[in-house]
């Protein structure tokens, strides 16, 4: 459920905002767990690869076994591909969704008094925004950053 700001309808309630914030925080905690699991698995893969290099590849290079030929000399360079693939997986599966959740959590935090006062000082020219702010005040809550950004964007399009 995403909080949508529409000035012609009732604003989201504190319960809706809290529920969405808690859901985003719990999803963020899951991604932190996935990040730790990924780090452990990656460490195990690198340890296994290093063990293979030390116990198999380096002795073969030292003995210069002709049956493996040039292939043995390319094994150490495969380490770079392991890092590249792991970085791509980590970026797509963990890092990007985590950053989106961090942004969402930030959007659902209450605005500062300076931001809210700046919005209030500009609202005298718009009946839609004034009625929206009155409904938010009647709920007994402060504006969240999503609402502040929506109001600022609305003012930018009207001017």
The mean pLDDT values, 10 residues at a time, for the chain of 159 residues are 77 90 95 95 93 83 68 78 92 94 92 84 77 88 89 81
Residues 95 and 120 in one domain: no
Residues 88 and 126 in one domain: no
pLDDT recorded at residue 151: 87
Euclidean distance between CA atoms 4 and 17, whole angstroms: 10
Whole-structure pTM value: 0.77
Residues 61 and 123 in one domain: no
pLDDT recorded at residue 115: 85
Residues 115 and 152 in one domain: yes
**Cα separations in angstroms, 26 against 22, 30, 31, 107:** 6, 6, 9, 16
- Does residue 4 belong to any structural domain of this protein? no
- Does residue 2 belong to any structural domain of this protein? no
Residues 50 and 21 in one domain: yes
pLDDT recorded at residue 53: 83
- Does residue 40 belong to any structural domain of this protein? yes
Residues 32 and 87 in one domain: yes
Domain boundary among 69, 92, 108: 108
pLDDT recorded at residue 96: 96
pLDDT recorded at residue 87: 93
Q: Which domain holds residue 19?
A: 10-108
Residues 124 and 103 in one domain: no
Residues 46 and 86 in one domain: yes
DSSP string, 92-120: IIIIHHHHHHHHHHHHTSBPPHHHHHHHH
Euclidean distance between CA atoms 159 and 122, whole angstroms: 12
Residue for token pair 């963990």: 94
Q: Closest Cα to residue 155, out of 119, 116, 114?
A: 119
pLDDT recorded at residue 85: 93
pLDDT recorded at residue 101: 94
Residues 25 and 60 in one domain: yes
Domain boundary among 66, 90, 108: 108
């Amino acid at each position: 459920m995403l909080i949508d700001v529409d000035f012609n309808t009732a604003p989201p309630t504190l319960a809706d905002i809290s529920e969405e914030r808690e859901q985003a925080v719990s999803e963020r905690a899951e991604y932190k767990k996935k990040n730790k699991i990924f780090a452990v698995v990656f460490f195990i893969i690198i340890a296994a690869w290093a063990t293979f290099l030390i116990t198999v590849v380096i002795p073969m290079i030292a003995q210069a076994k002709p049956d493996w030929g040039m292939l043995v000399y390319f094994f150490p360079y495969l380490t770079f591909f392991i890092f590249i693939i792991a970085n791509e997986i980590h970026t797509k599966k963990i890092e990007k969704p985590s950053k989106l959740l961090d942004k969402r959590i930030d959007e659902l935090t209450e605005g500062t008094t300076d931001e809210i006062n700046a919005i209030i000082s500009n609202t005298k020219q718009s009946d839609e925004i004034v009625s929206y702010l009155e409904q938010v005040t009647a709920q007994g809550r402060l504006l969240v950053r999503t609402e502040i950004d929506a109001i600022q964007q609305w003012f930018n399009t009207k001017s």
